[in-house]
Structure 1
Amino acid sequence: MIAKWVKFQILDTERQDWTRGYDTARRYQEREGHLDVPYEHQEGAYPLGRWLSDQRRAYRARTMPSTRAEELDELGMIWDTADTAFAENLAAARAYYQEARTLAAPRHATALDKPVGQWLTNLRRPGGLGKDPERAQRRAKQLAAIDPDWNPGALGWTVDWQRHHVGLAALLEAGGKLEEILPGITYRGDDIGRWTVRQARDWARLNPEQQRRLGELGVKPAVRAQKTSARTSVKTGVEKGSDAFTRGVAALAQYIQREGKTVVGRQHVEQLPDGTFLRLGVFLSNQKSRRDRLTEDQLSALAALGLEWAV
């Protein structure tokens, strides 16, 4: 009975000390916004700096209960003093996420006067989270707590793709309709309309998870024009167009079918089946410059061949 009483007294005292230290740390964090506390610092008469140092020692020795570690993590505990800079940048990342809804920040992005875009770029590189596996895992967990998709490369796509996807979701959530998000519609400087058209056009190049996420937003693969002869394409798409336009579309369809791309050099000349030649590069440049004067049928014919500016 005496042994049990002594054990209870020790445990109870230890619990009280933990509670007092945690409450003091919480008040400090609420006031200062961080837990980068000097070892000699005292909150009133309480040695907070020393108490935090003791917690780090217990954590490294693996004698700290996981529940306590999680509670300190929630306060922004700096387990290693070398993590001070990381904690500061993490706060900036948190501020950026609250504004942009993603950590897929462009390199030039800043928050709280910190170059958070470049910092995140560095972290995504091999070994960017640090050489110590335990520290790297802890840092990854802290980033994932802010944005589970903070590292798009691990999911199979780019930071740029992730940022545009978030932008599309934000526009739709704000009340926009998918059919209204056309090229030129932007979100935080990114052309979401043009990006959405490209996703629908290049649907087959996306991985299943990308397709699933876009599908949830209502994006569907674009309906591609059937691969018919250039002469048939002309008849079905631009019967009402001029002879010159008809020949130009026929030449473009022939070029795309052969080369598999829509990029045409300015000086390129295409030979048609009837033996005549057409300056295809000049034709496309002229159509793009006079886009506003083309008929709906003409624009549809060009868009069906994959020209984004005709959409």
Structure 2
Amino acid sequence: LALARAFAAEHGHLCIPYRHEKDGFQLGLWLSNQRATGPQLPPERSRALSELDPWWNPPWSTLWQRIYLRARRLPGAGTVTPEQGFPGTSENLGTWLYQQCQNYDSLHPQQQKLLTQIGITAETALRARPRRRNIAEARDQALDHARSYWKQHGHLCASATDTHDGFPIGQWLSNLRVRARRGKLDPAVARQLDAMDPWWAPPWSSDWQRTCYTVRDLIGSGHILAPENAFTAFADELGQWLYAQCVAYPDLAVQQRQQLATIGLTEQTVAAARPNPATESPSLETGLYFARSYAALHGDLNTSPSDRHEDFPIGTWLSRQRRQANLHNSKFTSPYPADPLLTAIDPWWNPPWNADWQINHRAARKLVEDGLDLLPRQGFPGTPDWTGQWLYTQCVDHPHLHPGQQHKLAQLGITAADARTARPRRVTQQASFDTGLDHARSYAARHGHLAVPRSESHNGYQLGTWLADKRKRATNGRLPRNRADALNTIDPWWNPPWGLPWQNAYHAVKA
């Protein structure tokens, strides 16, 4: 309401477009919601808005009201002359006014009353003549608006929804770009636009050109480019865009590279560019950068959703890519666009088996890399409890595994012949608890707590399930004191008397 009051004080009405924002608040959407509430809108709210603008919620469309208000702002408003074809109005507004005269009898009585205030009565409506289109005049007016927009912004890459002094400059330029591509644009108009902005109709997307101009202006105002520092002087979206240009630099048009060179991105500087890991909406290029780095360190892209790499949420990003790839493949026959790029990093980045299998395989591979021989015939001695049990299960199921899984097991030294000789791993109850406790310590060292959801796994170990079992035993008084003390040492609130969701939320806010 405070923002609506400020808008009404400045503009004299509240019939604003749906997408209008004020100080970061979606005022247009808010007013639309108030209108949509209808009779359920509390009377005090309706009164407060009506005091600001009696026609904030007209029985006709708000678009009608906005165009009417444009007519009210005409010089000499109240003296439009329908019988002369509405001279002094723009072509669009004059046409609209003529349509109101034609439909005068079907208008709401209050609409007729409002039109009377600008000189359209029942009598003058009968004598109205259509607005004559003056093409040369309309063109010159549009070019004047373009010139004014260019002086203010330094370019003519307005978005399709942009207006300038009430003129739909974005839509007008968009229409001219279409005509230019078809070779139907008036050369005289093209010359004038080219003189203002040579890239007003670029062969690449207007969004690219508009963003390039935005970055140019920011650098001109003092922003430091610093590709090697992840473009941190720029907002997240612009930083992502700049890094994407560095990745795509060899494939850009010569003229694009020339424009980037003027802001400091050259063939030499793009080589040192890094993406910002703190981004909220990672671009594909940013995600691929950290995916390559992660795979270079771990040998694959077997991540859990909570995994981070160099402060980048690699687990969350890859989980999103897998969901989008699976959804894409269910709807289209063409491959998911990012699939070839991620497959080049890890052929099994989105395997047909579940992610837990991948994580368990990585845990076993780490043991092999550390020098341990996996001996199926002896029950996998030297392996942790959970990994040993998992390996034995794979041996039992070996004939039914996917060929890709069999191949990955062969990388660990477990062939079909080895699998047939496998014996189960014998584990004592204490050894089983110690394994879980080791995973709990590792998890807490990384996250600072043991508020682990039941579904959470840690390095292939079902830590969430293990802790849920220990909480249940502790609640029922069946968990030995020494084991409870060991867990309390790691996290005093591993089994809070309030619900685990509260504890999870607390740690999220703390983080």
Please classify the TM superposition score into its range, dividing by the shorter chain length: 0.3 to 0.5
Greater C-alpha Rg: 2
- Greater relative contact order, per chain length (Cα 8 Å cut-off, separation 6+): 1
